[in-house]
Amino acid sequence: MSINKIVKVVDLGFMPYAEALAKQDFFFNQIIDIKRANRNKELPDLTDNYLLWVEHPPVLTLGKSGKIEHLLLDEKMLQQKGIEFFKTNRGGDITFHGPGQLVVYPIFDLDNFFTDIHKYLRFLEEAVIKTLDEYGIHATPSAGETGVWLDVGTPFARKICAMGVRASRWVTMHGLAFNLNTDLSYFEYIVPCGIQGKGVTSLSKELGREINVETVKEKLLFHLKDLFEIEQYRIS
């Protein structure tokens, strides 16, 4: 089987959640259509891989396994605060996206890399962990809790990066939300990721300064390329 380890990087800028979801769906379905057609071809066509950067206006999203009671605002209060709300088909519970947060949506055909969704999630976590290490911050996964955490196993455990993905025919969508300069007060309106009694943090809060988002992107891309053995990035 032919494989393609080139990743097309698309920066969506500041975009409402629904528009970014439509972009994800377009690339996701494009790859799925090629894979379906390949079943009848002796020489299959290559499938593409995409990495979408985006920053959203304030929005709360609930994963397919999430509990609506983890949303602590009613519809009127959401409108008053200018926060959108969506139920999604990703894994995980409820989370917040908003200004100052780097949201990353890999639309990867894992047949181009490896067909192991748990390994995929661990590599996403590891890329964030390695990026944080460059800032002198020690982060780890937390057993049974997807994402990246600080001070796991202590009363001060707090999440700095949330994750939730969907995969079909080994094609991924959704991804990770990395708190950089995020206004953390929005997390008071939910039970983050459905986990009681644990906090959230951001890179700017941990370092006490504003974070250059483009620098974080460069570091994160470097570690994703290394972990996934990506041959090349193409910036769109």
pLDDT in tens, 101-123: 999 999 999 999 999 999 999 99
Q: How confident is the model at residue 2 (pLDDT cuts 50, 70, 90)?
A: confident
pLDDT tens track for 213-234: 999 999 999 999 999 999 999 9
For the entire predicted model, the pTM comes to: 0.94
Please state the domain extents for the chain: 6-235
Burial call 26-44: b when 16+ CB within 10 Å, e when fewer: ebbeebbebbeebeeeeee
Residue reference for tokens 């796991």: 152
Q: Is the pLDDT confidence value at 193 over 60?
A: no
pLDDT > 90: what percent of the chain? 82
What strand order describes the sheet that includes 84-87?
84-87, 59-62, 94-97
Say yes or no to pLDDT of 153 above 70: yes
Structure tokens at 220: 């994160």
Q: How confident is the model at residue 236 (pLDDT cuts 50, 70, 90)?
A: confident
| Helix residue spans in the chain (DSSP H) | 17-38, 75-81, 117-133, 203-207, 213-228
What is the identity of the amino acid at 215?
Answer: T
Confidence of residue 195 (pLDDT cuts 50, 70, 90): low
pLDDT band, very low/low/confident/very high, at 96 (cuts 50, 70, 90):
very high
At 145 the pLDDT is: 84
> Does 126 score more than 60 pLDDT?
yes
Q: What phi, psi does 88 have (nearest 5°)?
A: -125, 170
What is the structure's pLDDT at 192?
62
- Cα dihedral 7, 48, 146, 227, rounded to 10, equals -40
pLDDT of residue 91: 84
Rounded mean pLDDT of 81-103? Answer: 93
33-41 LR contacts (CB < 8 Å, sep 24+): 35/109, 35/111, 35/169, 35/171
Per DSSP, 154 falls in state S
Average pLDDT over residues 39-51: 94
pLDDT band per the 50, 70, 90 thresholds, residue 56: very high
- 175 with 80: CB under 8 angstroms? no
CATH topology (fold) of 6-235:
BirA Bifunctional Protein; domain 2 (3.30.930)
Q: Which pLDDT score, from 0 to 100, does residue 178 have?
A: 98
Which one, of 180, 149, 164, lies nearest residue 62 by Cα?
164
Identify the pLDDT of residue 235. Answer: 85
Mind telling me the catalytic residues?
A: 193
Mean pLDDT for all residues in the chain: 94
